[in-house]
Amino acid sequence: MNGNAAMSEAAVGGRPTNLPLLCWLEECRKESVPLVGGKCSSLGELINAGVRVPPGFALTTEGYRRFMAEAGIDREIKSLLGKLDAADMDALEEASASIRASIEAHPFSTEMEDLVAECYRKLSIRCGIPAVPVAVRSSATAEDLPGASFAGQQDTFLWIRGIDEVLQHMRRCISSLYTGRAIAYRANRGYTDDLMAISVGVQKMSNSYTAGVMFTIHPANGDRSVIVIDSNFGFGESVVSGEVTPDNFVVNKVTLDIIDRTISQKEICYTVDLKTQTSHAMEVPFERQRVQSLIDDEITELAWMGKQIEKHYGRPMDIEWAVDKDLPAGGNIFILQARPETVWSEKQSTPAAKAGASAMDYILSSLLEGKKVK
């Protein structure tokens, strides 16, 4: 890690002394999970694989630990959680509220504030937008990893603008590591808080005309020969949250032909309030509710990008994307995040017939499954 990454000078718990407190996303790789968590390491890996990703930077897990130690919050957490019963949700929520209030109320050190402000200034220059609007995203070290479904447990804040707001929402992301649900999940899965950390990504906000999710495997039946895209107008919140039934497109993974399409009645979408610079839900005009939210060329390009991402990672992927209306066609589709698909791709294939079955049982079960019997 080089560039403008600020280095930690003190070793903590036997960790190396030269870990950066902040780094740019393009400095991250898939091996950077311990430093920047699953989400940011995935974004860095995508950038270095040639995928179009909005630029940004990250507060590293070392920066998180420095903040927690300087604020004395780490000791408070150890004291509170050490005597908790993971099954007592009332006690967990009470401890969570106390921990989160402490984190969100404590300012970063002057050094850390200056480092974040400098990165934010450089990002604004890079994007050509003063005080560039950003997404502030949590990225936990066990998040988005195969076998650990941490995704969605930590927070993401959209359309954040100005350094004071960025710093405040970075603390809110850190505090989201300690929701009652997240504490209980880690306790039940055997993850100790000593081993947990969080990174916070600060990434240029895509001013989405259309956004959604894409799977490089059929999420309903596990078919690996297709790519499935869900989309709606505006930001992807309405699709990810399930607030709207999105348009659905099924694309042949080999030919990139659209083999099935369902245009839904999309009654709401999320867009930006230009006065408050915040994301809010709005009603889609009636005449647009049944209009296809992605044109066919965009569907094909998205599917091609999904195919390249799957090829790079060597496994089916769950991808969030956006079409930025501020940029011209041909360079306005961005990948916001990509993580391994964990529902179908990790299922063990069941044998055609049970152990000890006769040859006739095997032939019949194979025929019923549509397999060619050799």
Query: What does the pLDDT read at residue 195?
Result: 67
Question: Which of 165, 181, 204 is a domain's end point?
Answer: 204
Question: Which of 158, 185, 204 is a domain's end point?
Answer: 204
292 with 253, same domain: the answer is yes
37 with 61, same domain: the answer is yes
Task: Return the structure tokens found at 265.
Answer: 């009645």
Number of domains, the chain: 2
What type of residue is 23? C
Please choose, from the candidates 57, 220, 59, the residue with its C-alpha nearest in 3D space to the C-alpha of residue 123.
57
234 with 167, same domain: the answer is no
Query: What does the pLDDT read at residue 39?
Result: 87
Domain assignment of residue 263, yes or no: yes
Q: Give 10-residue mean pLDDT values along the chain (374 residues).
A: 47 61 96 91 92 96 94 84 78 90 95 97 94 91 52 70 96 90 78 78 93 96 96 93 95 97 96 80 95 96 96 94 87 91 68 49 52 47
Angle at which helices 89-105 and 73-82 pack, to 10 degrees?
180
Specify the DSSP class assigned to residue 21: S
Query: What does the pLDDT read at residue 151?
Result: 42
Query: What does the pLDDT read at residue 77?
Result: 85
Domain assignment of residue 369, yes or no: no
175 with 237, same domain: the answer is no
Cα 319 to Cα 40, 46, 144, 194, 211, distances in angstroms? 14, 11, 11, 30, 11
- CATH code (residue 176): 3.30.1490.20
Is the CB of residue 250 less than 8 Å from the CB of residue 261? yes
Angle at which helices 89-105 and 163-175 pack, to 10 degrees?
160
Query: DSSP string covering 66-95, please?
Result: HHHHHHTHHHHHHHHHHT--TT-HHHHHHH
- CATH code (residue 213): 3.30.470.20
Domain assignment of residue 68, yes or no: yes
CA torsion 158-162-163-165 (nearest 10°) is -50
191 with 318, same domain: the answer is no
- Domain range for 104: 22-204
